[in-house]
């Protein structure tokens, strides 16, 4: 691995210095920000970080310093100086009875126009000084509800539905926006907000490029190869300097020299959009607060925020230890990135680099099998490189290798039969697969089910020969989505798959409707399987 990492470092990848990055609201507004979030001026901590200042932040902060005191009305000051974020879909009235037609109409509601002109200089100025939105040059689709910006891993599942809707121009616009983010900031942030710049999300960009190539042909691979290269360097930064047993940022080198990846965030402070919640979590433990914040932020990068997957005791958030894990889903996605880069170099006729990345991907696949496949549990799980033990938490993350492996499909089919039995026993419920079998109160645990994890489970099982089980899960999930839509006129961010008459719960905010990835996965499943069969 050392030789191949050395070759990668010679390829001329460059990451932008973090000093160039736009400041997040907690840095801009200092004590005002702290007071607003801790006083719970807004029920949802994300509201203030999305507010738009009515005048220059320095003038707002000067007046804040002059006026604050015993009689100071903080809420009134905020209302005078900031515009509240706008959520257009709140005005949308559902009139369609057909769920497919509803989703196709909803794309227009969830669409956002370009924030800047294509070709604008790198690090383009934010739409207004002090606002958190990172402008994008092409139209894009947001998830809905409180999520007023584009989100990284959400968007892959949204693209599945856009493709089924024939919205191929929007598919390309979304991919171009993500390439712009990589080129501008060195990586794809969690979302296009300044407060998300310190972290990314599960790296689905390679799968997006592959999806676009299905529409426009193999030239797409070379078009987006520079962005693929930069994303890979972001995730692998520092690997060549690590000694066995060390970890740095998103890279871990195990004692046998194996290089794998973990989730990370570069800022050991409370997440601005969940500031009060993070402070309160850190205050409940005797652990160093920066340690708790790092694990919470890494959990947010994973997209699985939060779950028993990341909890040392399997039940309480104060025991979170996200950065201690080598997650099976992350490493499977990076394997896919390596495979797509291999393909891109073939298309570009760069045979030597293609051979390099083929070997890298093969080594990663062997490492995932060695450290993440559990023969006793018959499932892929996360590996704790601090304790040198595999996790015992079963989750749909263990299905990712079945979706992306290109080698030994006959062997993967054998493993899929074993994993399928585990899915049926521990995860499958009336409405689809639950996120884990543990009810902790966290939103990425039982009884909740989420569209992206339904799709990855269905895809992996179907691809590796477990088609009957895949169809069963798809039918249950589609039926639940459609029943809730018929009852409420809404498609939701997450669902209760155990008691399908109840809403999903947990998490730091109320249930959201819209909803990008639910729409995308449902359209993809209807296209693949037709309307659900009766159970």
pLDDT average per 10 residues of sequence, the chain (535 residues): 46 45 95 97 96 97 95 96 80 82 95 83 58 96 94 98 98 98 97 98 98 98 98 97 97 97 97 98 98 98 98 97 98 98 98 98 97 98 98 98 88 95 98 98 98 98 97 98 94 97 82 91 98 73
In order, the DSSP letters of 214-253 are HHH-THHHHHTHHHHHHHHHHHHTTGGGPPTT-EETTEEE
- Answer yes or no: 172 catalytic: no
Rounded-to-integer distance, Cα 475 and Cα 458, Å: 10
CA 515, 520, 521, 527: dihedral to nearest 10 degrees? 140
Rounded-to-integer distance, Cα 485 and Cα 287, Å: 44
Catalytic residue among 237, 265, 329, 493: 493
- Answer yes or no: 115 catalytic: no
Find tokens 């470092």 and name the residue.
Answer: 9
Rounded-to-integer distance, Cα 140 and Cα 152, Å: 12
Catalytic residue among 172, 231, 278, 305: 305
pLDDT tens string 153-208: 999 999 999 999 999 999 999 999 999 999 999 999 999 999 999 999 999 999 99
CA distances from 254 to 294, 302, 385, 439, 530 (A): 21, 21, 7, 32, 46
Predicted model pTM: 0.94
**Distance in angstroms between the alpha carbons of the first and the last residue of the chain:** 49
CB 412 within 8 A of CB 373: no
* Neighbour tally for 449: CB within 10 Å: 27
Find tokens 């426009």 and name the residue.
Answer: 216
pLDDT tens string 470-485: 999 999 999 999 999 9
CA distances from 231 to 13, 139, 333, 464, 489 (A): 9, 22, 12, 28, 39
Q: 239: closest CA among 228, 250, 226?
A: 250
């Amino acid at each position: 691995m050392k030789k191949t990492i050395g070759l990668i470092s010679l390829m001329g990848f460059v990451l932008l210095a973090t000093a160039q990055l736009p400041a997040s609201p907690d840095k801009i507004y200092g004590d005002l920000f702290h007071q607003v979030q801790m006083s719970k001026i807004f029920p949802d901590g994300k509201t203030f970080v999305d507010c738009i200042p009515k005048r220059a932040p320095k003038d707002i902060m000067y007046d804040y310093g002059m006026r604050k005191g015993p009689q100071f009305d903080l809420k009134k000051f905020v209302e005078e100086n900031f515009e509240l974020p706008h959520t257009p879909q709140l005005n949308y009235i559902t009139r369609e009875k057909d769920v497919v037609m509803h989703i196709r109409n909803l794309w227009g509601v969830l669409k956002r126009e370009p924030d800047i002109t294509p070709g604008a200089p790198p690090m383009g100025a934010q739409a207004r000084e002090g606002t958190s939105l990172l402008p994008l040059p092409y139209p894009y689709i947001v998830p809905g509800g409180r999520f007023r910006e584009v989100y990284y891993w959400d968007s892959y599942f949204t693209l599945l539905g856009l493709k089924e809707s024939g919205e191929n121009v929007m598919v390309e616009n979304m991919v171009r926006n993500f390439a712009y983010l990589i080129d501008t900031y060195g990586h794809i942030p969690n979302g296009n907000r300044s407060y998300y710049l310190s972290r990314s999300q599960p790296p689905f960009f390679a799968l997006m490029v592959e999806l676009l190539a299905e529409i426009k042909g193999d030239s797409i691979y070379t078009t987006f190869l520079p962005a693929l290269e930069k994303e890979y360097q972001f995730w692998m930064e520092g690997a060549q300097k690590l000694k066995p047993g060390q970890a740095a940022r998103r890279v871990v080198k195990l004692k046998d020299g194996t290089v794998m990846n973990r989730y990370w965030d570069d800022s050991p402070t409370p997440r601005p959009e969940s500031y009060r919640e993070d402070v309160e979590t850190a205050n409940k433990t005797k652990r160093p607060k920066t340690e708790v914040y790092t694990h919470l932020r890494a959990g947010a990068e994973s997209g699985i925020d939060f779950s028993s997957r990341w909890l040392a005791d399997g039940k309480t958030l104060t025991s979170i230890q996200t950065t201690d894990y080598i997650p099976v889903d992350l490493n499977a996605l990076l394997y896919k990135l390596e495979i797509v880069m291999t393909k891109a170099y073939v298309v570009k006729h760069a045979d030597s680099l293609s051979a390099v990345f083929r070997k890298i991907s093969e080594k990663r696949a062997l490492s995932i099998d060695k450290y993440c496949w559990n023969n006793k549990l018959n499932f892929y799980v996360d590996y704790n490189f601090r304790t040198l033990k595999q996790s015992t938490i079963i989750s749909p993350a263990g299905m990712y290798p079945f979706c992306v492996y290109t080698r030994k499909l006959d062997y993967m089919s054998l493993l899929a039969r074993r994993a399928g039995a585990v899915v049926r026993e521990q995860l499958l419920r009336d409405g689809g697969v639950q996120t884990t079998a543990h009810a902790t109160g966290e939103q990425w645990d039982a009884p909740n089910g989420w569209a992206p994890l339904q799709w990855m489970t269905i895809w992996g099982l179907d691809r590796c020969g477990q088609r009957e089980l895949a169809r069963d899960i798809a039918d249950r999930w589609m039926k639940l989505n459609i029943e809730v839509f018929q009852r409420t006129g809404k498609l939701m961010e997450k669902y209760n798959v155990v008691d399908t008459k109840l809403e999903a719960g947990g998490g730091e905010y109320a249930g959201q409707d819209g909803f990008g990835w639910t729409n995308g996965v449902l359209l993809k499943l209807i296209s693949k399987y037709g309307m659900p069969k009766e159970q």
